[in-house]
Amino acid sequence: MTARIGVITFPGTLDDVDAARAVTVAGGEAVSLWHGDADLKGVDAVIVPGGFSYGDYLRCGAIAKFAPVMDEVIAAADKGMPVLGICNGFQILCEAGLLPGALTRNEGLHFVCRDQWLRVESTTTAWTTRYEPGAEILIPLKSGEGRYVASEETLAELGGDGRIVFTYAGDNPNGSALDIAGISSADGRVMGLMPHPEHAVEALTGPSDDGLGIFYSALDAVLAAV
């Protein structure tokens, strides 16, 4: 069996092709999903990729959460389907209520574009089982609104429940609370990540192939559920 991973395209999305390629490199079947269709085409997992959905008018992800496809994603996530939001996708998942908190303007108000070291804090999510706890991976980061914020209560809950999945290793590039780069839902099936693992699946074209573990992990999770 080959896991079928859906990749959503919104107007303004620019990393959907890269995300689909990452799925293929990992050995899965990438399935294109359109924002205006309330249809997940029977996929086993969903990736909400990066870009500037609907031009990032209002707040990043604030319009995308109303797309017909997102109603289906929310319903599927509630039933346990693995869902990954990358960069703008992370913002969309927060706006849609699948993840807590919000992503705001970077500290210093500058767009950050660089290769970033991350520390793997949790290996129990559907997207991180291929990593060792405490491993450091090199992943590209490119965002202007990547500063994760949440209430003190939410931050304490995320930390206490092991839902902080990735943190920035070394210096914090955007001022995120607790150095947070990625978090998960309570069941570990939904994950949001600000840096871009789809740009680090081959050492020839990226700073590393460290991002590949995220896509391998998802394929493992899908096949384990069969």
Residues designated as active site: 87, 196, 198
Q: What is the CA radius of gyration of the chain?
A: 16
- Unique residue bearing structure tokens 């210096």: 171
> Alpha-carbon distance 29 to 47, whole Å?
12
For residue 141, the cross-strand partners are 114
Alpha helices in the chain (DSSP H): 16-26, 68-78, 88-95, 152-160, 212-224
- Unique residue bearing structure tokens 């291929």: 130
Look at strands 83-86 and 112-120 and give their pairing.
unpaired
For the record, the structure tokens of 47 come out as 């990736």
> Alpha-carbon distance 94 to 114, whole Å?
24
User: Is 202 strand, coil or helix?
Assistant: coil
For the record, the structure tokens of 59 come out as 């707040």
For residue 148, the cross-strand partners are 103
For residue 33, the cross-strand partners are 8
